[in-house]
Amino acid sequence: MTREEFLKRISSDPNVCFGKPVILGTRIWVSLILGFLADGMKEEDILDEYPQLKPEDIRACLVYAAFIANERTIPLA
């Protein structure tokens, strides 16, 4: 899949989860999945916890994070 195809798996709608980016067709926040990965949770464990997700959804979250990191600079202390 291309990055653009992965990004199509992410949705942001002001009427769903306050407009937070979610995995398309779910109410699972991209930031939740990224937080799990940052904490060292394995992809298999995330998929077990959220059986409606596919490995491509987790990859889409990473692609989204890379896109956002490339677009904005967040000052760190």
Per the listing, tokens 């077990």 go with: 48
Note the pTM of the prediction, 2 decimals.
Answer: 0.87
- Domains of the chain listed by start with CATH number: 3-71 (1.10.10.10)
Report pLDDT digits (tens) over 17-38: 888 999 999 999 999 999 999 9
Residues 6+ apart with CB under 8 A from 7: 60, 63, 64, 67
Q: How far is CA 25 from CA 45, 56, 68, in A?
A: 20, 14, 21
Burial 2-13 (b: 16+ CB within 10 A, else e): eeeebbebbbee
Predicted local confidence at residue 57, as pLDDT:
98
pLDDT digits (tens, 9 = 90+) for 29-66: 999 999 999 999 999 999 999 999 999 999 999 999 99
Q: What is the pLDDT of residue 76?
A: 57
